[in-house]
Amino acid sequence: MNMTSSYDKTHALHAAEHVDPARLIGAIDALATIGARSDGGVDRPALSALDIEARRTLIERAQTLGCTVTTDACANLFFRRAGDEDLPPVMTGSHIDTQPTGGRLDGAYGVLAGFECLAALADAGVRTRRPLEVAIWTNEEGSRFQPGAMGSSTFVDPARLDGFRTVRDAAGVTFGATLDAHRTAFPALDTRAPQHAHAFIELHIEQGPLLELADTPLGVVTGIQGVRWHSVRCMGAAAHAGTTPMAVRRDAMTLAVRVRGAIEACALALGGDAARITFGSWNIEPNSINTIPSTVTFTVDFRHPDPAVLARFDAALKNCLAPHGADVRLEPLFEHAPVHFADTAIARVHEACDALGARSQPIVSGAFHDALHLAKVCATAMIFVPSRGGISHNPLEATDDADLVLGTRALAHCLVELCNEAR
Ligand code: GLV
Ligand code: MN
Ligand code: MN
């Protein structure tokens, strides 16, 4: 097919039309086999052997598409399709690490839709002014190493990497050691310095119920709500379960459950219906049926779209813990203010939905994403497709194929328009 050389409005539609449903769904199915769970979900921890295997398959695919593949100091991968001019690229992509009970789409969809756009542009013979880059961001989920989104946050603020390298997973392996192993696994990849991006568009499943309830196939994501992550450590004393009278025990679990209840009540009182409070990870020592727990450590994940509520929560949390003195210790793990995406990038997403004749609606993301960090350095926005039953971080996570295809067409349209921007 002849390559067209001028940049006109028809190219974006042309690229969108070349999105191939069978190729897209086939790529999603294939990636889901790497780390497949017996219940249909995926368990592919960040920088595990499975993650490396998945990365290897995508590096090979990118090379067959004629892309240049590079990495950086945080093991992010960049798959670049050249543009006609040496300008900062338009980026897309997401992550391929999963939750332990992950689905097939969270993150993987955004990466594979990015690959589908690379293939569709090639099939359509569409050239772009700017390079187009698909990124795989390292450790977005934060379930193996905390905090999440290490790759994208390091991309925008490289100074964070030193602190991340010493973080350990549950088995005691440092994040730094896994970065070194990634380097060894892919010795031929060039490591590049941080680069400026023109724009970043992340396509993702909604992971909540709003689009499905509204029967709207595309969400124009205007921003991401704010988040606080903490670890709370409650101390007691190990003692015999059968002999220690109730009145004299120092049971760390009794204390932890009381503290958990107080934090939840605070969060709901401050945040109302929009509050999201989760205590998802618990560690009990010595974790034995007939010994009173000596230490219980649990995590707090609080989210809200209003920065004033998040600030009030920070103060209230300290007040909740204060009465327990040295028996309860708080360790902040991660925080981020709510983000509003760039109006110019939001407009491009909206324009893409309209150009495809697809219904869309504005939506604020309840989950955080790599786009949260990219928004600090370039015009950023996201596209959502519906999640069946609003379910995610669960093997049942699913989206209708037609919606997956439509989201990818909207992404292709948006990327081509952004790639052809002169400034
Ligand atoms: C990302 O998975 C999040 O916790 O929002
Ligand atoms: Mn995700
Ligand atoms: Mn996730």
Ordered by where they begin, the domains of the chain are: 9-224+339-419 (3.40.630.10), 226-336 (3.30.70.360)
C-beta 155 within 6 A of ligand 1: no
Q: Considering only CA atoms, give the Rg of the chain.
A: 23
Was 141 annotated as part of a binding site? yes
Fill in the amino acid letter for 220. Answer: V
Backbone angles phi, psi at 200, to 5 degrees: -140, 125
Q: Place 194 in a pLDDT band, splitting at 50, 70 and 90.
A: confident
pLDDT at 5 over 80: no
Fill in the amino acid letter for 260. Answer: R
Was 53 annotated as part of a binding site? no
Question: Do the beta carbons of residue 396 and residue 103 sit within 8 Å?
Answer: yes
Global pTM reads: 0.93
pLDDT in tens, 254-285: 999 999 999 999 999 999 999 999 999 999 99
pLDDT score at 9: 84
The number of the ligand 1 atom at minimal distance from the alpha carbon of 227 is: 5
Q: Give CA–CA dist 26/41, Å, rounded.
A: 16
pLDDT in tens, 121-130: 999 999 999 9
pLDDT score at 216: 98
Q: How many whole angstroms from 368 Cα to the centroid of ligand 3? A: 8
In this structure, the number of other CB atoms found within 10 A of the CB of residue 159 comes to 7
pLDDT score at 3: 46
Q: Please name the residue whose Cα sits nearest to atom 5 of ligand 1.
A: 367
Question: Do the beta carbons of residue 54 and residue 115 sit within 8 Å?
Answer: no
pLDDT score at 6: 79
C-beta 206 within 6 A of ligand 1: no
Average pLDDT, the chain: 97
C-beta 229 within 6 A of ligand 1: no
C-beta 97 within 6 A of ligand 1: no
Instruction: Tell me the best of 95, 101, 303, 369 to mutate to test the pocket of ligand 1, counting ligand atoms within 8 Å of each CB and taking the most.
Output: 369
- For residue 73 the two structure tokens come to 């100091």
pLDDT score at 2: 40
